[in-house]
Amino acid sequence: MKKGLTLIVLVILTMIAGMGCTNREVGTKEDIQQKVTQLEKPDSKKEAKPAKPASTENKQPITKQAASITSVNGDFDYSKYTLISVDGGDMSGDRKPNVRVDVGFGDREYWAFTNEYGQLIRVEAKNIILQNPNTDHVLSSGRYYSDEANVPGTESPALDKGHVIADSLGGVSNAYNITPQDSTLNRHGDQAYMEKVIRDAGGCTDFAAVIQYPNTQTQIPNHYTFTYKIQGRSITDEFDNVNPDKVNKNLGVTTGTSSTSPKTNHVRANGTVSSDEDVSKVDTNHNGQVTIAEAKAAGFKMPITRDSWLYKYMDDRDGDGLVGE
């Protein structure tokens, strides 16, 4: 560009020098500079470039709600459920029909699904990640929120606001993770034991809860089926939404008072009988304690009663002589 400008100036000076003596003004310095500028100005037809359109890229970070679901069940049709976002501490108790909601606290992805009646029918997670007080915002009560969603039915004194995936397992407290659940079942029964099994194992994979109802009007389930994997072993926990103590009483299940545990054969779930008291075959992590998950994986049928040789290796939380009832 500098070389071109120099040539132009030389041409103009040469023309001025060859003009002879006249009364015509040669031109001021400003006039010459104006002409040079006009010569330098590019041809707009050749040089002009179209203006770059304003970016339409979404500058907002993509939230986990937009992520695609990693299925734990190929038979479930995920496509018909509309994705919505609900705050984990929403206490309203209302549910929308045919939606899916992430009910995992923080970065966890736990997916909940409702049917056309707004009933919570399924909750699943590819990986259950335990609550971590060092990284999660946890209240002094050990919970993420001070209360749980007021799902219709939870006003009953016999029913808890039961988490499908517990606080301790990383679940939130809105209506898409809460069902009205028998308080004994939730605190001391199969629900509580299942949660303990997963906590003791440090989490689990391929978790799925299928929730059933007696009719299309109620939000109170009558049956739960949980499936999950621990150390690659598939476990199924299935139970009704009832008080297990009342069920055991009606079945005539009683507990003994003897301080000694007689040796007895144990009928496993697969129909085989075992009198082998080698706990190492059941206690897979060799910590001296047998969890319900380990017992089930070894083929034992629940509940384990006080007269079973395995009982002394297990945690009877409520001291009723039954583990896994």
- Rounded to the nearest 5°, which phi and psi values hold at 10? -65, -40
Q: Rounded to whole angstroms, what are the CA distances from 27 to 7, 8, 12, 13, 197?
A: 19, 16, 11, 11, 98
CA dihedral for 106, 140, 166, 285, sign (positive or negative): positive
Q: Is residue 43 part of a domain?
A: no
Does 25 have pLDDT greater than 60? no
Q: Is residue 112 part of a domain?
A: yes
Sort strands 120-128 and 322-323 into parallel, antiparallel or unpaired: unpaired
Does 211 have pLDDT greater than 90? yes
Q: Is residue 20 part of a domain?
A: no
Tokens for 223?
């049956």
Q: Is residue 63 part of a domain?
A: no
Total of domains in the chain = 2
Q: Which among 243, 264, 292 is the end of a domain? A: 243
Q: Which among 182, 215, 243 is the end of a domain? A: 243
d(CA 246, CA 151): 25
Q: Residue 179: beta bridge partners?
A: 162
Q: Which among 195, 225, 243 is the end of a domain? A: 243
Q: What is the pTM of this model?
A: 0.61
**pLDDT value of residue 13:** 58
Lowest mean pLDDT among 3-17, 52-66, 142-156, 279-293: 52-66
**pLDDT value of residue 175:** 98
Q: Are residues 129 and 151 in the same domain?
A: yes
Q: Are residues 284 and 150 in the same domain?
A: no
Q: Are residues 125 and 266 in the same domain?
A: no
Q: Rounded to whole angstroms, what are the CA distances from 215 to 131, 181, 296?
A: 34, 16, 32
Range of the domain at 222: 69-243
Average pLDDT over residues 202-217: 97
**pLDDT value of residue 260:** 33
**At which residue do the structure tokens 């002009």 appear?**
48
Q: Is residue 6 part of a domain?
A: no
**pLDDT value of residue 215:** 98
Q: Is residue 45 part of a domain?
A: no
Q: Are residues 228 and 262 in the same domain?
A: no
71 — pLDDT class (breaks 50, 70, 90): low
Q: Return mean pLDDT, the chain.
A: 78
CB atoms within 10 A of CB 121: 17
**pLDDT value of residue 69:** 56
Does 295 have pLDDT greater than 60? yes
Tokens for 279?
């706990």
d(CA 182, CA 243): 6
262 — pLDDT class (breaks 50, 70, 90): very low
Lowest mean pLDDT among 30-39, 181-190, 307-316: 30-39
- Rounded to the nearest 5°, which phi and psi values hold at 243? -75, 115
Q: Is residue 267 part of a domain?
A: yes
Does 207 have pLDDT greater than 80? yes
Lowest mean pLDDT among 122-131, 132-141, 191-200, 283-292: 283-292
Lowest mean pLDDT among 91-105, 138-152, 236-250: 236-250
**At which residue do the structure tokens 């990640």 appear?**
129
Query: Which pLDDT tens digit goes with each residue over 91-115?
Result: 999 999 999 999 999 999 999 999 9
CATH number of the domain residue 93 falls in: 3.40.570
